[in-house]
Amino acid sequence: MTLPLALAPEIAAACAEGRPVVALESTIISHGLPWPDNAATARALEDDIRAEGALPATIAVLDGAVRVGLDDRALERLARGEGVRKLSRADLADCLIRREAGATTVAATMICARLAGIEVFATGGIGGVHRGAEQSFDVSADLHELARTAVTVVAAGPKAILDIPKTLEVLETLGVPVIAYGQDDLPAFWSRSSGLRAPLRADTPAEVAAAHLMRARLGLGGGQLVANPIPAEAEIPAADLAPVIAAALAEAAARGIAAKAVTPFLLAEVLTRTEGRSLRANVALVRANARLGARIARAIAAARAG
């Protein structure tokens, strides 16, 4: 049986020639951002990556295949989100055999990027250790995927809906390099600083690329997490968001939201409770990550060629 993997022709050509490609996830489109901003953002991310000299490859499961590089119709279908599943490592095969539509999370996008030969992936926020995980055991499969799949992931750091210190501890246990970009502190999604020092720091795409290639040479196997601080003009002070997050968490607890539904529920609650302010911040940071991802992909390609 052949691999159910369908690369857009320009992406297949770029991968074969070692040109820079950046993977993008689809759960942020279908379950992370509201319609129609999600569709506009998905297209803006692709434009940002092209403007930086790389090719965007948005990934999803549609019609029985992993699609790498989506056309406008497929993007819109994901953005409308009706009947679109949220896929992590555990769900990929099931979605494929049922020929259902699925959006890939960070974990599933890493797996699919690896299958396609794409080494860099840009997104907004990764999943992590949820607050209250000592009771719920809710730890995102994204963390385990970072430990096992060799893709460099550019994100804006863990969201404050999560337990950030515990997320860092789990990443340390799993041996995942957590690299703050251009500063010492770990960024925290809407805020440039979490107040915690990141274990590692890089200041240029070339440094991130060199570490990526050295890890491959060592046969280490896992990925690395590049935490890129949100652009200063889009930042939201942590103190402004703290009550919003507390209310969102209380609402989730009151309604008994569990498992895969937790993160989308909290994201939607924060969005509605901030009347668009957090949406604007979210779009700004994910676009900044797409551009940095493109520069890292170019640096990897250049280092290989040179």
168 contacts: CB under 8 Å, gap ≥ 6: 158, 178, 186, 196, 199
Per rule CB under 5 A, is residue 138 in the interface with Mn ion? yes
Respond yes or no on whether the N-terminal peptide bond of residue 177 is cis (omega within 30° of 0): no
Only one of the segments 60-68, 90-98, 138-146, 210-218 lies at the binding site for Mn ion (rule: CB under 5 A); that segment is: 138-146
The one segment of 25-33, 36-44, 137-145, 280-288 that binds Mn ion by CB under 5 A:
137-145
Site string for ligand PSU, 31-70 (x = CB under 6 A): -x--------------------------------------
Residue 163 touches Mn ion, criterion: CB under 5 A:
no
- Contact call for residue 48 and Mn ion (CB under 5 A): no
Token pair of 48, please? 């940002």
Contact call for residue 30 and ligand PSU (CB under 6 A) = no
Nearer to Mn ion, 134 or 275 (CB): 134
Q: Where are the alpha helices (DSSP H) in 61-193?
A: 72-80, 92-97, 106-116, 133-136, 141-148, 164-173
Catalytic residues: 25, 159
Distances from the Cα of 49 to the Cαs of 57, 104, 298, in angstroms? Answer: 10, 19, 11
User: What SS3 class is residue 218?
Assistant: helix
Site for ligand PSU (CB under 6 A): how many residues? Answer: 17
Write out the two tokens for 222.
Answer: 């896992």
Q: Check residue 228 for interaction with ligand PSU (CB under 6 A).
A: no
**What one-character DSSP code corresponds to residue 149?**
S
Give the residue from 51, 63, 55 showing the smallest Cα distance to 12: 55
Nearer residue to ligand PSU within complex by CB, 49 or 283:
283
Binding region for ligand PSU (CB under 6 A): 25, 27-28, 32, 105-106, 124-127, 140-142, 159, 260, 263, 267
Residues that bind Mn ion (CB under 5 A): 138
